[in-house]
Amino acid sequence: MAKSKLHFQRFEIKYYLPKSKADKLIPALLNHLNWDQNVIETGRDYYNVNSLYFDSPDYGCFWDKEAGVKDRKKLRMRYYQPVTSDDVQVFVEIKRKKNALVVKDRIKLEAKDCTSRTFDLTLKNLYHNNPEDDFLKELIWFKNRNALRPVIFITYKRKAFVGKKDKQFRVTFDYDIMTSPAKDLNNISTNFRPVYPGGVVLELKFNNILPAWFHRLIQKYQLNQLAYSKYCNSLRKIIPQLDDNNYLVN
């Protein structure tokens, strides 16, 4: 993977569409976008995104989203290749959401430091050696204050593009979103369930304003903006009583 940033602040807008519409939209986007370098490096037209999400015993992060809390955040571990060895790179991040504005901070660890047995000690040692690091302090406080622990694993294929003129403008298509219960980075169930088998989540990521050419594509392809949460909809698949069937494909 290309070098990853450890801090992001940008606007994000999501659209929820059938695969057939996404497949038609991508060729039109290539008039204005290039394939992301991370995709090019794979030799395919996508790269894999794997995330282990944390929540409190009463699923506070889930209910904050459902209640429409404007300022909310969640903790997750994210990696881009299978955890086949102790030194696989894992990003531990807090994603904060304020309406369409997303602020994300992350630290980079190795897989051996991210298990249920090692994670808390790793954070404690990092903070001991970096007491001036405000993000580490927030991470430890957020995790401990809410008794956060791994809940579910989510994996999908991401097709990613960057603007030809504005390199900060990104468009991603997330296909084949799958989820399974998970209590540890080393203990992820192989009982995967499709979250949105007939469709794709399209995300726009930008710092300033949405370009005029994309507004035209929104109208042409009749894209409908949607506050889609991969985490919440995946949790509905794991806990059936939470599933209200609100994302059925027509």
> What's the mean pLDDT in 37-45?
95
pTM here is 0.91
The reported pLDDT for the residue numbered 25 is 94
- According to the model, what pLDDT value does residue 4 have? 54
Comparison of pLDDT for 36 and 84, the residue scoring more: 36
**Cα dist from 25 to 58, 74, 121, 197, whole Å:** 40, 31, 46, 19
Q: Cα separations (Å) of 211 from 32, 125, 185, 226? A: 10, 45, 39, 19
Q: Is the pLDDT of residue 3 over 50?
A: no
Q: Given pLDDT bands bounded at 50, 70 and 90, which one contains residue 248?
A: very low
Segment 183-192 shows an average pLDDT of 88
**Domains along the sequence of the chain with CATH:** 7-242 (3.20.100.30)
CA distance readout (Å), 162 to 23, 78, 91, 159, 240 = 17, 21, 22, 11, 37
- What pLDDT shows up at residue 249? 44
Q: Find residue 97's DSSP bridge partners.
A: 72, 102
Q: What is the largest CA-CA distance in the chain?
A: 54
Task: Please tell me the distance from the alpha carbon of residue 187 to that of residue 9, in angstroms, as a whole number.
Answer: 32
pLDDT of residue 246: 53
Angle formed by the axes of helices 212-221 and 19-29, to 10°? 150
SS3 helix, strand, coil % of the chain, rounded to 5? 30, 40, 35
pLDDT in tens, 89-135: 999 999 998 877 899 999 999 999 999 999 999 999 999 999 999 99
Confidence of residue 38 (pLDDT cuts 50, 70, 90): very high
The Cα 184–Cα 114 span in angstroms is 8
How many angstroms separate the CA atoms of 80 and 51, rounded?
A: 9
pLDDT band at 5 (very low <50, low <70, confident <90, very high): low
Q: Which residue has the tokens 């881009």?
A: 80
pLDDT at residue 244, as a whole number: 58
> For residues 244 and 247, which has the higher predicted lDDT (pLDDT)?
244
User: What string of DSSP letters covers 173-234?
Assistant: EEEEEEEEEEEETTEE-S--EESSTTEEEEEEEESS---HHHHHHHHHHT--B----HHHHH
Collapsing DSSP states into helix, strand and coil, what is residue 49?
strand
Predicted pLDDT at 1: 45
In the predicted model, is pLDDT for residue 47 greater than 90? yes
